[in-house]
Amino acid sequence: MISTKGRYALRMMIDLAMQDTDKYTPLKDISERQGISEKYMEIIIKHLVKHKLIHGLRGKGGGYRLIRSAADYSVGEILEAVGEQLAPVSCLLPETEPCDRESACPTIAMWKKFNQLSHDFFYGITLADLTAP
């Protein structure tokens, strides 16, 4: 399940994609438009900046803006940047030790197929897709 943090990150990125990409948008403005507290947005913004999805500028005229074109951002990379795990089961998470039961697991093929479907789904949708009329 996608958490509130993941859903809010998408809303923030969509909001930024709908702004003039040459200008910085103040966090306060995004917060007001999206109805998300600035404090919670600050937590999410740190992840997005750390993963080089957005750029921030402090001071007068500061705020945040996308680094790339909206078409160059996938929903999957945004969700994973804020810590969302897209894998349906823990044994398919990248940092998990290999399961010693995998060779005898009757459901592993199903989980791997579902994992690939969800990965392809989220990585196949861009910010530009979500902002299109």
**pLDDT tens digit string along 7-54?**
999 999 999 999 987 899 999 999 999 999 999 999 999 999 999 999
Collapsing DSSP to helix, strand or coil, 51 comes out as: coil
Angle value at C-alpha 119, between 83 and 2, nearest 5 degrees: 40
Helix intervals (H) in 27-107: 27-34, 38-50, 75-81
Which residues lie below 8 Å from residue 65, measured CB to CB, with a gap of 6+?
16, 19, 21, 22, 23, 24, 25, 54, 55, 57
What pLDDT sits at residue 100? 83
Amino acid 68 reads R
Which residues lie below 8 Å from residue 9, measured CB to CB, with a gap of 6+?
44, 47, 48, 78, 79, 81, 82
Amino acid 123 reads Y
pLDDT tens per residue across span 83-109? 998 888 888 888 888 888 888 999 999
**Residue corresponding to tokens 């919670």:** 40
Q: Looking only at Cα atoms, what is the longest distance across the chain?
A: 61
Let me know if 100 is exposed, middle or buried by CB neighbors in 10 A (0-12, 13-18, 19+): exposed
Contact yes or no for 67/73 (Cβ under 8 A): no
Q: Above 90 in pLDDT, residue 116?
A: yes
